């Protein structure tokens, strides 16, 4: 989000936000860091300035050193993703048959979006900050999966080679989750600082209104009161 020439102006998220030892350029970036922490995904914030083939300088927001994955966080006010797209194309795998890249499929780039809101169809507790939302610069067909071998959470596509980006174990299709599956909780960085030994954040219980119990509650009150 630091690629100033692409930014039309400050977005609603562009407030410097501290999380852990890092000051992020936006609240959304800090929330993505907290979300990565929640899934035990190692991350580095803006570790490298990359000169693209076009000559443009680009500093992606996150590098995930165990997954060979970049994350470019994009809020609603900064929709342009040209630099991310160029980097994704430059670092993608070009192996003909068997992939011999350091990372299966080459380096991967994810666009991190603002979270999806919770809805009323979920059972139990809803996450306070909703669900993580992502895509690639080329389309939405990116999946979140936990490797059955090393248990590392990661993002992948259905393109070959379909292997864990860390241990190269084969991934299982039934474990795949899309943002719309509402599986990956998005974490509010402000509520998770110093919570290493705290109870997991289960979110807030559903209200009676959300569970469709409003009328019943009203009836009870009516009978009790009169
Ligand atoms: Zn390859
Ligand atoms: Zn693995």
Give the residue extent of every domain in the chain. 4-225
* Residue 204: per-residue pLDDT: 53
How far does the centroid of ligand 1 lie from the alpha carbon of residue 91, in Å?
Answer: 10
CA of 130 to the centre of ligand 2 (A): 27
Q: How far is the CA of 163 from the centre of ligand 2 (A)?
A: 8
Residue with tokens 């939405």: 140
Q: What is the pLDDT, as a whole number, of residue 91?
A: 94
pLDDT in tens, 153-204: 999 988 767 899 999 999 988 788 988 888 899 999 987 554 444 444 455 5
pLDDT of residue 150: 96
pTM score, whole prediction: 0.78
pLDDT of residue 226: 34
State the distance from the centre of ligand 2 to the C-alpha of 154, rounded, in angstroms: 9
Q: What is the predicted pLDDT for the residue at 97?
A: 81
What was the pLDDT predicted at 96? Answer: 82
Q: What pLDDT shows up at residue 169?
A: 93
Ligand nearest to the CA of 104: 1
Using the mean position of ligand 1's atoms as its centre, give its distance from the Cα of residue 92 in Å: 8
Give the chain as a DSSP string. Answer: ---GGG--S--TT-S-EEETTEEESSHHHHHHHHHHHHTT---EES---EE-TTS-EE--SEEETTTTEEEEE--TT----HHHHHHHHHHB---SSS--SSSTTB-EEEEEEEEEPP-TT-SSPBPTT-EEEEEBTTBS--EEEE-TTT--EEEE-SSSP-B-TTT-PBP-GGG-B-GGG--SB---HHHHTT-TTSPP---BPPPTTTTT-HHHHHHHHHHHH-
Please tell me the predicted confidence (pLDDT) of residue 140.
59
CA of 184 to the centre of ligand 1 (A): 28
| 104 CA → ligand 1 middle, Å | 6
Identify the segments of the chain with pLDDT beneath 70. Answer: 1-13, 77-79, 119-126, 139-140, 160, 192-226
pLDDT at 220: 39
- Determine the distance separating the centroid of ligand 2 and the alpha carbon of 152, expressed in angstroms: 6
pLDDT of residue 222: 39
Is the bond into 161 cis (omega within 30 degrees of 0)?
A: yes
Neighbours of 143 (CB within 10 A): 18
Q: How far apart are CA 22 and CA 14, in angstroms?
A: 15
């Amino acid at each position: 989000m630091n690629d100033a020439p692409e930014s039309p102006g400050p977005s609603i998220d562009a407030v410097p936000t501290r999380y852990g030892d890092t000051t992020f350029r936006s609240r959304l970036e800090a929330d993505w860091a907290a979300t990565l922490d929640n899934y035990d995904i190692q991350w580095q914030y803006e570790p490298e300035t990359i000169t693209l083939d076009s000559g443009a300088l680009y500093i992606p927001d996150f590098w995930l050193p165990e997954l060979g994955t970049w994350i470019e966080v994009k809020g609603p006010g900064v929709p342009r993703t040209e630099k991310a797209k160029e980097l994704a194309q430059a670092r993608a795998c070009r192996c003909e048959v068997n992939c011999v890249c350091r990372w299966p499929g080459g380096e991967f780039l994810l666009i991190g979006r603002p979270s999806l809101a919770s809805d009323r169809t979920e059972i139990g507790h809803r996450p306070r900050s909703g669900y993580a939302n992502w895509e690639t610069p080329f389309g939405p067909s990116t999946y979140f999966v936990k490797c059955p071998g090393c248990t590392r959470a990661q993002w992948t596509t259905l393109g070959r080679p379909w292997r864990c980006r860390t241990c190269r174990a084969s991934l299982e299709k039934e474990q795949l989750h899309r943002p719309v599956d509402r599986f990956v909780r998005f974490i509010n960085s402000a509520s998770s600082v110093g919570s290493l030994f705290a109870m997991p954040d289960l979110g807030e219980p559903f209200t009676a209104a959300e569970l469709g119990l409003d009328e019943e509650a009203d009836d009870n009150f009516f009978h009790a009161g009169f």
